[in-house]
Each structure stands twice: as C-alpha cells, then as structure tokens.
A and B are shown apart, each in its own frame.
Chain A
Amino acid sequence: MKTELTDEQLAHKEAFRRFVDEEVVPYAREHDLEERLNPAVIDKVIEKGYLGSMIPTKFGGTGMDMVTLGILNEEIGRGCASLRCLLTVHGMLALAILRWGTQQQRTDYLPRLAKGEILGAFALSEPNVGSDAKSVETTAVLDGDEYVLTGTKKWITMGQIADLFLIIAKCEGQPTAFLVERERPGFCTKAMKGLLGTRATMIAELHMDNCRIPKENIIGRVGTGLTHVGLSCLDYGRYTVAWGCVGTAQAAFEASVAYARDRQQFGAPLSDNQLIRKMISEMTVNIKAARQLCYHAGYLKEVGDPDTIMETWVAKYYASTMVTKVTSDAVQIFGGNGCLDQYPVERYFRDAKINEIIEGSTQMHEILIASHIFKTM
C-alpha cells in the first residue's frame, strides 16, 4: 500500500498553490464584502482550464484524475471558499451531462463548459424542500415535443451568473433531471443576498413559469433524477466540498500558527502557552485526518470502486464538522482580532459553517452513515 502523491500530482499542487496565492487570496475579502465574485478572477480560473478540470480531454477539458481534482479544490478552498463553490456546481452540471447525457448533449455543452464559455449550476432545493429532496414541488409535464416546467428553486449557487441549469422536477410523479438554459422564456432568476458565509456564491432563486424546453433536454430517464443523475452530481459535490473544507481549515491553521508566534502576551508569544498549543495540535491532526479521508475517497473514485459513494459521505461529514471546529479555534487564538473583518479568520469561520448545511446537512450524513452500517454490518 502506498499513500503518497505522484511527482505529477505534487507539481500540480505547487502550481495550484501559487495560482491561489497570487490570483485568489488577494480578492477573497473583496468577494466576501461585495457578495460577488470579481469577474477578472473567474476569467483567470477559466484561463487556467480549471472549469474543465472534471471534463475529459476529448471534450476539451483537462481531464484531471480525481485526486488532483481534489487537490485543486483544497487549494482554491484555501484561498476563497466562494470561488471554490463555482467548481462544485459547474462540475455537478458537467458530470450529469457527461455521465447521463446523450451524445448530442455532450458535444453541445461539454466543450463550452470546459472552456468556461458557459457556466453551470445545480438546482434541487426549493422554498419548501431541502433535506427531503424527493419531495420537490417543481413539475415537468410533457406537451408535444416540449416539457413545460413550473416551480421555484431556492439557494442556487451561482444562480445569478450561470447560463445552464440542471433542474430536478417531478415528471409523472417522479424526480427527473432537465437542462434549462437561462434564456428560455418563462425562466428568470432573482438574486439572494445576506448569506452568513460563502457570501460571494451569488446564490439565486429560479422561477419557472410555464417554461418550455425541448423534450431532448431531459437528462437520464423519467424517475432517475435523484437515484442516478442527482446521486452522481451530489457525490461529486460532496467530494469537492470535503476537499474545500480541508483547504479552508488549512488556511485557518496557517494563519493561527503565524499569529500565535507573533502575538505577545504576558511577555511571551501566545505560542508558548500549552492551551494554545493544544488547539494547534488538534488542528494539525484533524486536518490531516480529513485530508486522508478525502484521498481515500478520491482513490476509490479513480479505480471505480462502488464504496467511494459511502466513503465520500464519511469524508464530507468529517471534513465539514472538522472545519467548523478548526476555524472556531482560529478565532479563539486571534482573540479580538479574530472577530474583526480586517483579519481573514472570521471569514473562514463563517464560510466553514455553510459546509455543514450544503450537499446534505450534518444530520443527513449522520442518518445515512449509521443506517448504512446497520444495513451492511
């Protein structure tokens, strides 16, 4: 058994780190304060081909292996959690098309998604439906050669700027996935403001009022919107979110170590205190543990092992609860300065909490992990 990165993966990690330090970190505070991503930063991400990281080269993507893709998400998450969410939702849509789309849909959309000519988003949640995803109220009715969609989606990450949406709607009473382009008549978005964390994820409500789409816009078959399409998307979503948590935690950890060394109280640096050292030790160990769980899930994905789905739940659960603790301790180490937006740790703390809600809340993970154990042990 070998658990080390290849030379190529290490070189990628270096390159991602440099990119993030130079092009992402300087904008993270602005993103948070202005509740929007700077378009120039998105352009840089596109230029690097990162929006095609999950798309195979034959469709114009960079076709990264799952571990390298994880490292990319860790590094971008270290710089700006909001920007990292773009990789998640764009990838969820791209993978739905890649995995369950028709050849026509693949050639129509994947090259443009890979080049960042169009941005993707994933729309499942609604005003009345969150954890209980199968109860979506949006409907799709076949009328001749078209599906007619009616309903409202809420909380849709990148909903303000995405061009193409994967919509989960009830068709013949069963959850089904559809592609909807922004310009379809009857479709409109309404920006949502005031998020606790990942404030620049540009979330929106989507309104569909007799929105007609060609019947070819279905992804998968009627009834497979959650079981197959949604599950593939959410598995990738959870995987990248878990990596993003490791990145945000790493940022909080590095800031904490530097601050504890620098800040003097009682005539000595904070780092001389055992109580501070305990927090640093716990951060060190818990971040490493989360990263290992992510590597393991990524490895299983790379070899196509069915256990990857469950191991991704485990990694996301651990990483998201870990990052709320690590960032909370970082605020503690910074004291008053940890509560002020002149320092980044209060942003890490706010960003961290979002991860316990999205892609299945902490409680949904607890329910699923335990029920899987009782079923299979």
Chain B
Amino acid sequence: MENAIKAKVKKFLSRFFKSQEIADDQDIFSLGFVNSLFAMQLVLFLEKEFDIMVDTEDLDLENFRTIDLITSFVEKKQA
C-alpha cells in the first residue's frame, strides 16, 4: 500500500500538474510550473495537512524537490 503521506502529497500536487504524471523521484521544480505562489502554497499545505511547522531552516530545496523528498521531510518532522 502506498504511504499515506505520499498519497496526500500527490493529490495536492495533481492540482498544479494536471496534465502531467509526475514520478516520485522527478524534480518538480525543474518542470517549469512552479513559482513563488506554489512554493508558499506547498508550505501551507504541508503545515495544515500534517500538523507540522515549516521553519526557516527547513527552507532547503532538498526537502521539497521531489515527491519522495517531501514525503521523507514530513516523516522527519512528525518523528
């Protein structure tokens, strides 16, 4: 069964990447769709959905670049 966090992240991202199937390890920031609006929406989504706080030190592209990285970031914050 797919990780529940990953499923929610995918569902959220599908709103922005409608016509495109994104692989779990694909760099979403290189797809040309993302802008600063998306970056902040992603932060708000993660905070609300997973009850975590994204801090300044978390603002590293390596936490958000792919679906896999976002999932492990959330797991790390929830631990």
Q: Closest chain A residue to B40 by CB distance?
A: A231
- Distance in angstroms from B11 CB to nearest chain A CB is 12
- Distance in angstroms from B53 CB to nearest chain A CB is 10
Knowing A309-B37, A310-B37, the reply to whether A376 touches B48 (Cβ < 8 A) is no
Q: Are A226 and B36 in contact (CB under 8 A)?
A: yes
CB proximity to B under 8 Å, residues A319-377: 368, 372, 375-377
Bitwise interface map of B from 41 to 79 toward A, beta carbon under 8 Å scored 1, else 0: 111110110000000110110000000000000000000
Chain B residues, CB < 8 A from A305: 44, 48
Please report the C-alpha to C-alpha distance between residue A219 and residue B56 in the assembled complex, in whole angstroms.
Answer: 8
Report the tally of A-B residue pairs with Cβ distances under 8 A.
Answer: 58
Q: Are B15 and A376 in contact (CB under 8 A)?
A: yes
Binding site for A on B (CB under 8 A): 12, 15-16, 18, 33, 36-37, 39-45, 47-48, 56-57, 59-60
- Closest CB pairs A-B (n = 8): A304-B48, A306-B44, A306-B41, A227-B36, A306-B45, A231-B40, A227-B39, A221-B59
Binding site for B on A (CB under 8 A): 100-102, 219-221, 224, 226-228, 230-232, 235, 303-310, 368, 372, 375-377
28 A-B contact pairs sorted by A residue (CB < 8 Å): A100-B56, A219-B56, A220-B56, A220-B59, A221-B59, A221-B60, A224-B56, A226-B36, A228-B39, A228-B40, A228-B43, A231-B37, A235-B40, A303-B48, A304-B44, A304-B47, A304-B48, A306-B40, A306-B41, A306-B44, A307-B41, A309-B37, A372-B37, A375-B16, A376-B15, A376-B16, A376-B18, A377-B18
